[in-house]
């Protein structure tokens, strides 16, 4: 939504009131990613998970506003090559200083509040407009950062008995996602929100034998192991043969060229007769991370290992660099 600049004092990001046309999708970099990639040979830094040490935009590593390294290539069995631009980002080789997360959040509080209130209002208005035509509103929870933020916004906007949360377990999930699901499920129970896990009645291994590995053009995995089981689960809960559902997702336009063309709300794009609503379509990764830090929300550990997106273990959309990280 908003443009950002680097804040050299906090080591974080600062939103500006300018509206962004395109985001480089910065992500926080924790010590574990630096260790996996071998940056520990070059720099010293605290091995503490509580705060990121720097940021990455694609393969560029940014420390207090300066590009200090990048990575090239990498594959399943080959470590990406490190290109070190600054051997001593801190004077005299002193340890790198983690981002001052609290101060960063304070400095972004006003713009974030505007964005959050607008989004909550949009969720509420959509619910009011469609509630007479829809059998069930549900958050399609994936375990990624965007769905964590969407769920939190929805639970602030709507009465807790007016929507469900459904996680479609593909049976190919990261173990970090399964851990997070268990924590989120418990949190939902404490908040009186119904949380369900939907699974296909057969294993992903059987599907691989039938269809072959998921491919970029033929991604049977999403339909067979996510969308269909989720809708079947909802039909089972409501004892309907067919139901009209509105799925609230964490889809964002800055994630890909295809998603930048999406509308906030659509009917039948994913499944015939079903509504899809993307409340944070205009949000950038900067705003997603700021919201998570401001509200102390859970972050899937996969992000701390260096993944920009959380999907399945053998996802055709995964980069070669990520294939290397998965092996570690
Ligand atoms: S994350 Fe990747 S492998 Fe998993 S369902 Fe989606 S496209 Fe398929």
Please tell me the predicted confidence (pLDDT) of residue 88: 96
Strands 265-267 and 275-277, bridge-based pairing: antiparallel
Determine which residue's CA is closest to atom 5 belonging to ligand 1. 222
Q: Quick check: CB of 221 below 6 Å from ligand 1?
A: yes
Please tell me the predicted confidence (pLDDT) of residue 39: 97
**The tokens of 65 are what?**
């506003």
75: helix, coil or strand? strand
Q: Residue 189, exposed/middle/buried by CB under 10 A (0-12, 13-18, 19+)?
A: exposed
Q: Which has the closest alpha carbon to 144: 316, 279, 292?
A: 292
Q: How far is the CA of 77 from the centre of ligand 1 (A)?
A: 22
d(CA 120, CA 118): 6
Q: How far is the CA of 226 from the centre of ligand 1 (A)?
A: 9
Low-confidence residues of the chain: pLDDT under 50: none
Q: Quick check: CB of 326 below 6 Å from ligand 1?
A: no
pLDDT in tens, 285-315: 999 999 999 999 999 999 999 999 898 888 8
Q: How far is the CA of 237 from the centre of ligand 1 (A)?
A: 25
Choice from 147, 173, 208, 222 to test ligand 1 binding pocket (greatest atom count within 8 A of CB)? 222
Q: How far is the CA of 173 from the centre of ligand 1 (A)?
A: 9
Please tell me the predicted confidence (pLDDT) of residue 213: 86
**The tokens of 11 are what?**
């080591």
Please tell me the predicted confidence (pLDDT) of residue 49: 94
- For the chain, domains (ranges, CATH) are 2-99+302-327 (no CATH), 107-287 (3.40.50.620)
Choice from 215, 221, 225, 316 to test ligand 1 binding pocket (greatest atom count within 8 A of CB)? 221
pLDDT in tens, 109-126: 999 999 999 999 999 999
Please tell me the predicted confidence (pLDDT) of residue 174: 94
Q: Which has the closest alpha carbon to 68: 53, 51, 80, 50?
A: 53
DSSP for 249-293 reads ----GGG-TTGGG--SEEESSSSTT-EEE-TTTT--HHHHHHHHH
Contact 224/259 with Cβ under 8 angstroms? no
Determine which residue's CA is closest to atom 2 belonging to ligand 1. 315
Contact 277/247 with Cβ under 8 angstroms? yes
Contact 292/148 with Cβ under 8 angstroms? yes
Q: Quick check: pTM over 0.75?
A: yes
Q: Which residues contact 8 (CB under 8 A, 6 or more apart)?
A: 64, 65
| The ligand 1 atom nearest the CA atom of 172 | 4
């Amino acid at each position: 939504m908003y443009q950002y600049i680097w804040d050299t004092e906090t080591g974080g990001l600062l939103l500006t009131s300018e509206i962004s046309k395109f985001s480089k999708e910065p992500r926080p970099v924790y010590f574990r990613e630096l260790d996996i990639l071998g940056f520990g040979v070059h720099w010293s830094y605290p091995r503490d998970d509580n705060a990121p040490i720097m940021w990455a935009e694609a393969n560029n590593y940014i420390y207090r506003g300066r590009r200090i390294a990048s990575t090239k290539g990498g594959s399943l069995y080959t470590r990406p090559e490190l290109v070190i631009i600054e051997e001593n980002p801190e004077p005299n080789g002193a340890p790198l200083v983690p981002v001052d997360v609290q101060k960063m959040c304070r400095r972004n509080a006003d713009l974030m509040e505007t964005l959050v209130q607008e989004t909550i209002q949009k969720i509420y208005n959509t619910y009011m407009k469609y509630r007479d035509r829809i059998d069930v509103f549900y958050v399609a929870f994936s375990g990624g950062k965007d769905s964590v933020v969407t769920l939190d916004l929805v639970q602030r906007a709507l009465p807790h008995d007016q929507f469900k949360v459904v996680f479609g377990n593909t049976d190919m999930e990261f173990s970090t996602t399964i851990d997070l699901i268990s924590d989120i499920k418990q949190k939902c129970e404490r908040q009186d929100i119904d949380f369900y896990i939907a699974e296909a009645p057969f294993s992903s291994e059987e599907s691989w034998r039938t269809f072959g590995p998921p491919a970029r053009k033929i991604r049977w995995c999403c339909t067979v192991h996510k969308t269909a089981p989720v809708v079947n689960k909802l039909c089972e809960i409501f004892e309907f043969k067919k139901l009209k559902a509105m799925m609230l997702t964490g889809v964002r336009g800055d994630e890909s060229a295809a998603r930048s063309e999406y509308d906030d709300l659509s009917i039948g794009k994913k499944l015939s007769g079903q509504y899809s609503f993307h409340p944070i379509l205009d949000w950038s990764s900067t705003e997603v991370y700021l919201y998570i830090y401001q509200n102390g929300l859970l972050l899937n550990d996969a992000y701390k290992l260096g993944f920009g997106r959380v999907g399945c273990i053998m996802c055709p959309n995964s980069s070669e660099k990520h294939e290397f990280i998965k092996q570690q």
